[in-house]
Structure 1
Amino acid sequence: MSVKKKLLVVAHAPSINTQRMVDAVLKGAQHEDIENVEVTYIPPLNANAEDVLAADAIILGTTENLAYMSGALKDFFDRTYYAVLEKKQGLPAAAYIRAGQDGTGTKRALETILTGLKWRWVQEPLVCRGDFSEDFISQCEELGLTMAASLDAGVI
């Protein structure tokens, strides 16, 4: 029996719709055809460096607040950055941003932090902007599926 790879989802979900987005990521990542990936969701205020150190890939989710990531996700980075900096370089990463208007500032902040951590973007951050749309749910599900399938296949 092979050891399962670990996909960590750290996402801030302060509303019903953002929780639906997390649930969609998890649904995609736990698709029945994916056999060797264990998916763990931890809200940012509960996630710690040990969670990141145990992960083989990570998906980050955040709302855009005042043109920046959520305080909860920023707190996650503040608490874990130096503990994982040297040990998790190259960690495959993806992100989604729930932005009411723009998403540019949040995307830039995430790209800056992940560049500092030397994590590897698997794809461009998904920015779900404007009024809430059911398309966001399918996009998040696809993101989860793509990350988990890529991890399962050894592509990332």
Structure 2
Amino acid sequence: MTESRKHLLMVYHSQTGHTRMMAQAVLRGARRVPEVEIRLKRALRAGLDDLLWAHGLLLGTPENFGYMSGALKNFLDRTYYPAQGKISGLPYAVFISAGNDGIGALTSIERIARGYPLKPVCDPIIARGELSTEILQHCEELGETMALGVAWGIF
């Protein structure tokens, strides 16, 4: 590992396993970029040190009652104030496993992200219902795109 290596943090929560499958696909894509070190963390285990380490952030959540998971909200709550002024403009992207439309979960994440402030750099992926091969392919592309953007300083 070299000092110039960039860091990509993926924080996710999964209850049924769908978001975990999406996270694994995102991770597969990100691993195609050897210049980036990737840290995959469950939301309740991720903390401020992980966030401060990152040059890019991926957030994954199921849609729970039209909102992000409580575990992802907990991560954002625990890191919000301590991260103020330290990660402004950090590039981020979102992937959501939704039973409904996923818009409530996405909107809540975007609202909080603006407060950090984080910078959205990729379209969100929202998997509605069962996961398809196409959605998992989009997740791999998201991971690779984020890793390349961080590695090349595009974001």
Same fold (TM over 0.5): yes
- Report the 3-state secondary structure (helix = DSSP H, G, I; strand = E; otherwise coil) of the residue aligned with 1:124: coil
Whole-angstrom CA distance in 2 between matches of 1:114 and 1:78: 11
Q: CA deviation at 1:88?
A: 0.4
What is the identity, as a one-letter code, of the residue corresponding to 2:92? A
Paired with 2:97 and 2:144, the residues of 1 have a C-alpha distance of 19
Q: CA RMSD of the aligned region, Å? A: 1.2
For residue 150 of structure 1, give the secondary structure of its aligned residue in structure 2: helix
- The answer for the alignment partner of 1:4 in structure 2 is 5
The answer to whether 1:145 aligns with 2:144 is yes
SS for the counterpart of 1:92 is: strand
| Partner of residue 102, structure 1 | 101
Q: In the TM superposition, what are the counterparts of 1:7-156 in structure 2 within 5 Å?
A: 7-31=8-32, 34-156=33-155
- Which sections of structure 1, spanning at least 5 residues, go unmatched? none
- 1:62-119 deviations in Å (ceiling 9; x for gaps): 0000000001000101111101121100000001111111111111101100011110
TM-score (norm 1): 0.94
Shift of 1:2: 5.2
What TM-score does the superposition give when structure 2 sets the normalisation length?
0.94
- The structural deviation recorded for 1:125 is 1.7
Q: Offset at 1:27? A: 0.4
Identity of aligned residues (%): 42
Question: 5+ unaligned residues in a row in structure 2: which ranges?
Answer: none
The answer to whether the 8 A contact 1:2-1:36 is kept is no
2-structure distance, mates of 1:21, 1:107: 16
**Structure 1: distance between partners of 2:74 and 2:14:** 14
Give the 4+ runs in structure 1 shifted more than 3 A: none
The number of residue pairs the alignment matches comes to 154
Report deviation, 1:127. Answer: 1.3
